Amino acid sequence: MDERLYHIPQTRLSTAWPGRLVVRASDPVALVEALASETNPERIVAVRLPLSADSEPLNAGAPGLPVELVLDDPASEYPLLYQHANLLDNHPVRAVVPVRPGFGKAVKTAIALDFAVRLEIGQPEPAAIDELLAVLDFYLHQPTVAQSIEFFHSALLGFYHQEPLPLWVVMEEEPQALRYIADGGAESRYGRLAALDLDAGVAPDADLEVWIEQVLATDPECRNCEFLNSCGGYFKWPRQDYDCAGIKRVFGGLQNAAAELRRDLKSLADATPDH
């Protein structure tokens, strides 16, 4: 099976795509009807809904299908998360929260509702870094947090196990695998790589390591970055002149938390009789 992941509009669901699909819903009622007659439901890995959409038709439709609720302005929209709480009866739910001023309220509300969170991190300006660090502190130290906040969760595990994964993997944005299909049908790369040619001068079958080496992390700052293995040059896109000083503080916080966790678990093991 083609391992490509296509972000498609709902209107293109009937097209014979070769890989897996994330469907951007525009009409939940029609989407549930289309999903009910879908002959290959395994190809659909998630449905994305704008937060303002009525998710009620999905409450009992397509059970088990992951639903992503996409926020645009988290500081003003976060109360709308409550109206989607019933989705959890039949679906894993994840809130997609852009890192914009006030986004922390949306993260805390989503977590309180038992939704997972994916941060659309972009290239955060210095003013956003403090709020990002505050949300990281909430994630690490608030005992009621039961769901993951990505990218924190996977980066923390990578540091803990000393097996870092580049953010391109953590955020499911591997350039060799991901395509964005616009409402009008045009195909491009996704998100921060949208402006990069489909033919980016890399062999079609090249794996992510080649991409990182040849395209994604060619900036001298990346070459010398202690977090290269956990990042892969992710924050140098789309603006190559982005100053990573702030985001390195976030990676540093995750690295320190993983080291602290390892120390705590070792102390616990050492103090346990029979060890």
Q: Is 17 helix (H, G, I), strand (E, B) or coil?
A: coil
Query: Where do contacts with ligand SF4 occur on this chain (CB under 6 A)?
Result: 217, 221-222, 225, 227-228, 231, 233-236, 244, 247-248
The one-letter amino acid code at 73 reads: D
Residue 15 falls in which region: left (phi positive, over 0), alpha (psi -120 to 50) or beta: beta
Nearer to ligand SF4, 115 or 234 (CB): 234
Q: In angstroms, what is the minimal distance from the CB of 196 to ligand SF4?
A: 15
Q: In angstroms, what is the minimal distance from the CB of 31 to ligand SF4?
A: 36
Nearer to ligand SF4, 105 or 248 (CB): 248
Nearer to ligand SF4, 190 or 234 (CB): 234
Q: Which ranges of 53-171 would DSSP assign to H, the alpha helix?
A: 56-59, 74-77, 103-112, 126-141, 152-161, 167-170
Sign (positive/negative) of CA torsion 84, 30, 26, 61?
Answer: positive
Nearer to ligand SF4, 156 or 222 (CB): 222
Residue 138 CB contacts under 8 Å (≥ 6 apart), including other chains: 104, 107, 108, 145
Nearer to ligand SF4, 161 or 223 (CB): 223
Nearer to ligand SF4, 52 or 240 (CB): 240
Q: In angstroms, what is the minimal distance from the CB of 201 to ligand SF4?
A: 20
Q: In angstroms, what is the minimal distance from the CB of 97 to ligand SF4?
A: 21
How far is residue 240's CA from residue 129's CA, in Å, rounded to a whole number? 18
First-to-last C-alpha distance (Å) of the chain: 47
Residue 180 falls in which region: left (phi positive, over 0), alpha (psi -120 to 50) or beta: beta
- The answer to whether the peptide bond before residue 79 is cis (omega within 30 degrees of 0) is no
Nearer to ligand SF4, 118 or 248 (CB): 248
Q: In angstroms, what is the minimal distance from the CB of 232 to ligand SF4?
A: 7
What are the Cα distances from residue 235, in Å, to 126, 135, 196, 242, 248?
13, 19, 15, 7, 10
Q: In angstroms, what is the minimal distance from the CB of 220 to ligand SF4?
A: 9
Go through 239-257 and write b for each residue having 16 or more CB atoms within 10 A of its CB, e for each that does not: eeebebebbbebbebbbeb
